[in-house]
Amino acid sequence: MSYLKRTLGGPAGAILLAFFLAAVAMLVAGVSPLDGFEALFIGSLGGRNQIAETLVQTTALLFPALGITLAFRAGLFNIGAEGQLVIGGLAAGALGAHFAPATPLAIFVLLAAGFVGGGIWGGIAGWLRAQFNANEIISTLMLNFVALAVANYLVSGPLKASNASGAETTPLPASSYLPTLIPDTRLSIAIVIAIGAAIVLRWLLKRTVFGYELRASGEAPDAARRNGVNMPRMTLLALTLSGAIAGLGGATIVTGVLHRFNTQLSPGYGYTAIAVALVGDLNPLWVCVAAFGFGILEAGGLAMQALADVPKDAIHVIEGLIILVLAARRYVATRAEAAPI
Amino acid sequence: MEAREPLAPDAPALELRGIQKAYPGVVAVGGVDLDLRAGEIHALVGENGAGKSTLANVAFGAIKPDAGTVRAAGTVGLVHQHFQLVGRLSVWQNVMLGREPRRGWRIDARAGRERVRALARDNGLEIDPDAFVDELPIGVQQRVELLRELEREPAVLLLDEPTAALAPAEIDSFFKTITQLAARGTAIMIVTHKLHEVLAYSSRVSVMRHGKIVARFETASTSVDEIARAMVGGELPQVAQRSETAPAPRFSVRNLRAGTGSVALNGLNFEVRAGEIVGIAGVEGNGQTTLADAIAGVIPFEGEMQRPPHTGIIPQDRHREGLVLNWSIVDNTVLGRQRLPSARRGILVDRRSARADAEAIAQRFDVRAASLDVAAGTLSGGNQQKIVVGRSLLGDPEFVLAYQPTRGIDVGAAALVQSRLIEARNAGAAILLISFELDEILALADRVLVMYRGAIAGEFSGANIDRGRIGNLMAGSSV
């Protein structure tokens, strides 16, 4: 009983409930939920190409979700993974188009540029919080808009490819593409890097002194402060690293999928990733599983629209419902804890 | 509104008979009889935790006693130590809160304002009924709090530490009001530990210790000295084995300044030597927390502080500052020591040594837990404190800051914690003990510093440790 309760009360329950509510919504809209969900799963898992595309989406979500996980574990609500992702992609795209050395090392340089770019973007919010106690929820969110505006300006002006009709940078030289994992698909080895990042993050949080202090800051800030944790430094480091992981994700999209930077880099991965991190219970390995689940939704959504005539936005309804159910559950849990013993 | 018929002078206004109130693990009030007469100002004094506030709340009716009766000749009012005002409401709205005059279904603002104005005038309290409470200085907020109780025309008025947050000038005007009130027949009881105020304004004094009234005096025929002795108990402290301490100073502060307001430190100078326990005695709120925060590095300070690298810290609040309640005992064992070479292997937390340390603490401190992997939050307060103290003493720290190390734990656990502190001292640790329990200071300390209003008011060591004089200094009177 208690196991069932725990499972259903947890992320799994949230997902089931969200799907149920989505089915109700489809019924109301006059579509058979069975047809809808069938299209969703055929479109995402029905063949080699579909699975590859699902994994592309999984990767795009996993990096920012891992960054968010790190920040949340430190008690910092980084809502700015979207901006950090874009800046990371921009850094890699700009460098790759104009300054990249034509050696096999180029790919490492571009990924590092994404890591640093995203890190700076997260670090700004970290510095504002550490120095002026500026609420990181607001600053990271606002920096998303700044990031998009900066990227828009650069790719429609200074960095715009000379022969491009739209707003995008010059394509990368093929030597700085991330190697493809499944031939003739968009899936690169970025998925391997992402899973590697998850494993490293888990190790960092669980085993290292830094991870110990980071978790202490998140769980009990007063105790951490009083027991030797330099909180301003931790805030700066955590948000920087959080942004860096998201920025690395942006760089893998540029080097592995688009092979150039444009502002359609992300359809909101950085926001969906918040739900991914929460569904994964802020545990790096479960976040991988959650990212796969959301990857199915992202990739299958188009098929659902084409095959079952369910608008792609229905996917966002499901995602939104999952977040809502999770948030409600946390709220109820907090209130139950707060009740007098 | 009609004025209450005043009671005849010296008529009984409040009778407490056989009041008892116990909380899990502690008897707050253990059988108290107390009478208040109309027109008197009665002081109830005692150390922290003596049961004064509990008794006041029983008299007020906020706490139901386990046994005993309360009889009052009219309404009983209580002014809390911590103000219970609504900051965003005006003065008159606060005073009339819950008893607003009405006209039909609306609040009659004019009548409310007039009522408060009249009340203030009658009691000689100067106040603007339309001012917002959170814009008023503390002393004026106190008047609002007082007016709110006076509005109910109490026959008995209880004041819990009424001057704790007031400046000296505000204190004088406050007592002027109180004296007038008493002259008009209200029975007043002031719960306090400020003995000079007791002497200056009260007519009778009752002294509480360990939940009982241990002495009663007519104020006219007693002294601060006599009251202080009764407060802390006349008996001599049980002497721990104190050997001569080594001369090497391990911790020192010179001209230490930190914090603001009434808890600011005004240039402290002292040192703690190896093999010595220095006790900081004092009533809560005289800067002890500021000192602990400065030593823990949580707040900035001015002046010099010499603190050895291996320092163990026992914070005052184990829940909030000492433990990560969701973490296991093993994980909590590392907290505060995570950067020490003995607790890590390179950049990694040494989990094997953490477990060994946790086992050592569990054994040395008799921690009762199902396993070392249970969350610290599931343990009893005593067991939690044992982990915090045990952790701070691991690996023979050179200096230990112990802030209220036995706060709120049962007698057995407290004795164990105290013994371990003495053992650490005997092994050469320099220990700074901050405690609000004078008994604890006297039982453990080789040297006692009395802290009053952010300064060291006196120092005692060895045979010169004198409970009565320490009590006086704690209460702010010079010896």
Residues 6+ apart with CB under 8 A from B220: B203
**Torsion sign over Cα A99, A105, A110, A112:** negative
Which one of A207, A226, A337 would you mutate to disrupt binding with B, by most B Cβ within 10 Å of its Cβ? Answer: A226
Complex ipTM value: 0.84
Confidence of residue A316 (pLDDT cuts 50, 70, 90): confident
Among the partner residues A207, A219, A226, nearest to B327 by beta-carbon distance: A219
Q: Which two tokens stand for residue B21?
A: 């109130």
Nearest alpha-carbon partner for B274 in B445, B398, B392, B391: B398
Domain boundaries, chain B: 12-232, 236-308+399-479, 324-397
Cβ contact, residue pair A223, B313, below 8 Å: no
Is residue A222 less than 8 Å (CB to CB) from chain B? yes
CA-nearest residue of chain A to B344? A209
What is the SS3 assignment for A34?
helix
Cβ contact, residue pair B323, A216, below 8 Å: no
Which one of A204, A227, A231, A234 would you mutate to disrupt binding with B, by most B Cβ within 10 Å of its Cβ? Answer: A227
Helix (H) or strand (E) holding B254, with range, is strand B249-258
Residue B302 bridge partners (DSSP): B257
CA B61 to chain centre: 22
Cβ contact, residue pair A219, B326, below 8 Å: yes
Residues 6+ apart with CB under 8 A from B479: B458, B469, B472, B473
CA-nearest residue of chain A to B333? A227
**Closest approach of B56 to chain A, Cα-based (Å):** 24
Q: How many residues does chain B have?
A: 479
CA B160 to chain centre: 12
CA-nearest residue of chain A to B339? A209
**Closest approach of B50 to chain A, Cα-based (Å):** 25
Cβ contact, residue pair B338, A209, below 8 Å: yes
Nearest alpha-carbon partner for B350 in B410, B301, B394: B394
Which amino acid makes up residue A226? R
Q: How many residues does chain A have?
A: 341
Given a cut of 80, whether residue A165 has pLDDT beyond it is: no
Cβ contact, residue pair B349, A208, below 8 Å: yes
Top-confidence residue, A1 or A195: A195
Cα–Cα distance for residue pair B448/B441, rounded to 1 Å: 7
Is residue B325 less than 8 Å (CB to CB) from chain A? yes
Q: What is the pLDDT of residue B238?
A: 41
| Per-residue b or e along B206-224, where b marks 16 or more CB atoms closer than 10 Å to that residue's CB | bbbbbbebbbebebeebeb
Contacts of A234 in chain B (CB under 8 A): none
Please state whether beta strands B265-273 and B249-258 pair in parallel, antiparallel, or not at all (unpaired).
antiparallel
Tens of pLDDT along A19-51? 888 788 788 878 888 888 888 888 899 889 999
Contacts of A210 in chain B (CB under 8 A): 347
In this structure, what DSSP letter does residue B458 have? E
The C-alpha torsion from B452 through B456 and B461 to B467, rounded to 10°, is -10
Is residue A207 less than 8 Å (CB to CB) from chain B? yes
Tens of pLDDT along B252-295? 999 999 988 777 898 999 999 998 999 999 887 889 999 999 99
Is residue A133 less than 8 Å (CB to CB) from chain B? no
Cα–Cα distance for residue pair B203/A32, rounded to 1 Å: 86
Q: Do residues B372 and B365 touch, judged by C-beta distance below 8 A?
A: no
Residues 6+ apart with CB under 8 A from B138: B165, B166, B170
Residues 6+ apart with CB under 8 A from A327: none
Helix (H) or strand (E) holding B47, with range, is none
Nearest alpha-carbon partner for A105 in A246, A223, A255: A255
Which amino acid makes up residue A178? L
Cβ contact, residue pair A207, B349, below 8 Å: yes
Within the 252-311 window of chain B, which residues sit less than 8 Å (CB to CB) from chain A? Answer: 296-298
Architecture of domain B12-232: 3-Layer(aba) Sandwich (3.40)
Helix (H) or strand (E) holding B268, with range, is strand B265-273
| Segments in B306-375 forming alpha helices (H) | 329-334, 351-364
Specify the fold of B236-308+399-479: Rossmann fold (3.40.50)
What is the SS3 assignment for B224?
helix
Q: How many CB pairs under 8 A join A and B?
A: 55
Is residue A49 less than 8 Å (CB to CB) from chain B? no
**Closest approach of A203 to chain B, Cα-based (Å):** 10
| DSSP line for A117-140 | HHHHHHHHHHHHHHHH---HHHHH
In this structure, what DSSP letter does residue B241 have? -
| Segments in B31-133 forming alpha helices (H) | 52-60, 91-95, 109-122
Cβ contact, residue pair B347, A223, below 8 Å: no
**Torsion sign over Cα A282, A283, A286, A287:** positive
Please state whether beta strands B12-23 and B67-72 pair in parallel, antiparallel, or not at all (unpaired).
antiparallel
Please state whether beta strands B249-258 and B348-349 pair in parallel, antiparallel, or not at all (unpaired).
unpaired
**Closest approach of A326 to chain B, Cα-based (Å):** 20
Confidence of residue A100 (pLDDT cuts 50, 70, 90): low
Q: What is the pLDDT of residue B46?
A: 81
pTM for the complete prediction? 0.72
Cβ contact, residue pair B349, A228, below 8 Å: no
Is residue A210 less than 8 Å (CB to CB) from chain B? yes
Contacts of B335 in chain A (CB under 8 A): 216, 223, 227
Is residue B345 less than 8 Å (CB to CB) from chain A? no
Helix (H) or strand (E) holding A69, with range, is helix A48-73
Helix (H) or strand (E) holding B240, with range, is none
Give burial (CB, 10 Å; 0-12/13-18/19+) of B474. buried
Helix (H) or strand (E) holding B12, with range, is strand B12-23
CA-nearest residue of chain A to B296? A226
Cα–Cα distance for residue pair B376/B328, rounded to 1 Å: 6
Cβ contact, residue pair B348, A227, below 8 Å: no
Which one of B347, B353, B400 would you mutate to disrupt binding with A, by most A Cβ within 10 Å of its Cβ? Answer: B347
Which one of B328, B333, B339 would you mutate to disrupt binding with A, by most A Cβ within 10 Å of its Cβ? Answer: B339
Q: Do residues A15 and A279 touch, judged by C-beta distance below 8 A?
A: yes
End-to-end alpha-carbon separation of chain A, Å? 24
Among the partner residues B326, B331, B347, nearest to A208 by beta-carbon distance: B347
Q: What is the mean pLDDT of chain A?
A: 88
Is residue B119 less than 8 Å (CB to CB) from chain A? no
Residues 6+ apart with CB under 8 A from B380: B368
Cβ contact, residue pair A212, B325, below 8 Å: no
Cα–Cα distance for residue pair B96/B108, rounded to 1 Å: 11
Among the partner residues A210, A222, A228, nearest to B336 by beta-carbon distance: A228
Q: What is the mean pLDDT of each run of 10 residues along chain B (479 residues)?
A: 58 91 80 92 82 89 91 89 83 90 89 92 86 81 88 90 68 85 91 81 91 91 84 52 67 92 87 93 87 93 92 91 94 93 92 95 89 89 92 94 86 82 91 90 92 91 84 74
**Torsion sign over Cα A24, A29, A34, A39:** negative
Tens of pLDDT along A203-257? 999 999 999 999 999 999 999 999 989 999 999 999 999 999 999 999 999 999 9
